Amino acid sequence: MTVDRQEKSASARAPGIVLPGPVLIVGCGKMGGALLRGWLGRGVSARQIAAVDPAFATGVAGFEDIAAASVALLGAPDQLPPDFRPALVLLAVKPQFMDAALPGYRRLVSPDTVFLSIAAGKSLAYFHSVLGDQARIVRSMPNTPAAIGKGMTVIYRDPAISAEQLALCGELLAAVGTIAWIDREDLLDAVTAVSGGGPAYVFLLIECLARAGCAAGLPEDLAAELARLTVCGAGALAEQSQEDVVQLRQNVTSPKGTTLEALKVLMAPDGLQDLMTRAVAAAARRSRELSR
Ligand SMILES: NC(=O)c1ccc[n+]([C@@H]2O[C@H](COP(=O)([O-])OP(=O)(O)OC[C@H]3O[C@@H](n4cnc5c(N)ncnc54)[C@H](OP(=O)(O)O)[C@@H]3O)[C@@H](O)[C@H]2O)c1
């Protein structure tokens, strides 16, 4: 396996994205919306973006600024112009809605159009079975910190896709954070389980730490704030420090001190590592099930 970390941080990137043609977003929810805002923030012309989501059939609530910026927000694919030829179609509907959504975009299949999926567990074989063998499809897995430009997205570098189309996918996903490339599609199940769902595990850690603080006698509000800001601060330190996370952990752990007592519990054989390994394995298993 090769993982080629390409983009380190939003601030390290070039200022603007120049598209070779229009981009279509299919599904403008949490992830599709975050990418849309990230692209506009990186200087992509609103007139080059269209988005289809059933919600737009009845209004653009929450997207008023986007509509005002002249992004075409449509309720169904039949509202796209007949001669619409996008350079990229972002597939951002939930996996369980993909069967219903995808056939509406078959007519866009062309060598000049790359379909970029961010859906969990939907394999290239699945997309080809619906869109046909000629469709150019790239799979990727982002996560929700993309909403604030801090996403972690892994992209499968399919040798069947042109370097230009892979580069376009990479550039658009790098607009919302860091990207990494993998050379095996099957690794996306584990990626989904680690970084795709990972933010949820961290939020649960905050909840658990807050409840443990309450149990240790803190008022609920204070415990919640201490837990949230501790995780934020530790995350920022892990991001910015030259030291690795093991060293950062050891820096907090004095011999015979209080943290050591907590870590004895967390690092016991049936402690956090065991739980996390089982949790990630369960998520990866579910990702494999979704791809069947
Ligand atoms: N959220 C995450 O943490 C995360 C992380 C990595 C990858 N992903 C992937 O990203 C994709 C989107 O997830 P999400 O969390 O952004 O979901 P979401 O917030 O539910 O957004 C999906 C959007 O697609 C819309 N939609 C449903 N059917 C459609 C159709 N036929 N055509 C166009 N749009 C349609 C939904 O409308 P309704 O609400 O009316 O159904 C919703 O607005 C999923 O495939 C997921 O696996 C999500």
Mean pLDDT, residues 24-29 = 97
Residue pair 86/108 in contact (Cβ under 8 Å)? The answer is: yes
Q: Which atom of ligand 1 is nearest to the CA of 55?
A: 40
Q: What percent of the chain has pLDDT over 90?
A: 92
Q: Which residues contact 99 (CB under 8 A, 6 or more apart)?
A: 130
Cα angle, residue 76 at apex, residues 74 and 78 outer, rounded to 5°: 105
Which run of H or of E encompasses 136?
strand 136-141
- pLDDT tops 50 at residue 11: no
What is the helix, strand, coil percentage profile of the chain, to 5? Answer: 55, 15, 35
**Rounded to whole angstroms, how far apart are CA atoms 58 and 55?**
6
- pLDDT tops 50 at residue 283: yes
Q: How many CB atoms lie within 10 A of CB 193?
A: 23
The alpha helices in the chain, defined as continuous H runs, are 30-41, 64-68, 98-101, 124-131, 163-174, 187-191, 198-215, 220-240, 245-252, 258-266, 272-290
Mean pLDDT, residues 165-185 = 97
pLDDT of residue 13: 46
Q: Whose CA is nearest to atom 4 of ligand 1?
A: 143
Size (the chain), residues: 292
Pocket of ligand 1 (CB under 6 A): 26-32, 52-55, 92-95, 97, 100-101, 118-120, 141-144, 196
Nearest residue to 90 (alpha-carbon basis) of 114, 126, 65, 57: 114
161 alpha carbon, distance to own chain's centre: 21
Q: Whose CA is nearest to atom 8 of ligand 1?
A: 119
pLDDT of residue 248: 98
pLDDT of residue 9: 41
- Span 144-155, pLDDT tens digits: 999 999 999 999
Q: How many CB atoms lie within 10 A of CB 129?
A: 11
Mean pLDDT, residues 193-211 = 98
Q: Whose CA is nearest to atom 21 of ligand 1?
A: 29
**Rounded to whole angstroms, how far apart are CA atoms 223 and 218?**
6
Q: Whose CA is nearest to atom 30 of ligand 1?
A: 101
Judged by DSSP in three states, 5 sits in: strand
- pLDDT tops 70 at residue 83: yes
Pocket residue to mutate for ligand 1, from 53, 102, 192, 194, most atoms within 8 A of Cβ:
53
- pLDDT tops 70 at residue 15: no
What mean pLDDT is reported for the chain?
A: 94
pLDDT of residue 5: 52
Distances (CA, A) of 269 to 48, 73, 242, 262: 54, 52, 29, 14
Which band of pLDDT confidence, cut at 50, 70 and 90, is reported for residue 17? confident
DSSP state, 193?
I
Pocket residue to mutate for ligand 1, from 25, 26, 31, most atoms within 8 A of Cβ:
31
Inter-helix orientation angle 198-215/220-240, to 10°: 140
- Span 96-107, pLDDT tens digits: 999 999 999 999
- Span 256-281, pLDDT tens digits: 999 999 999 999 999 999 999 999 99
pLDDT of residue 16: 80
Q: Whose CA is nearest to atom 18 of ligand 1?
A: 29
pLDDT of residue 139: 98
- pLDDT tops 50 at residue 174: yes
**Rounded to whole angstroms, how far apart are CA atoms 117 and 99?**
13
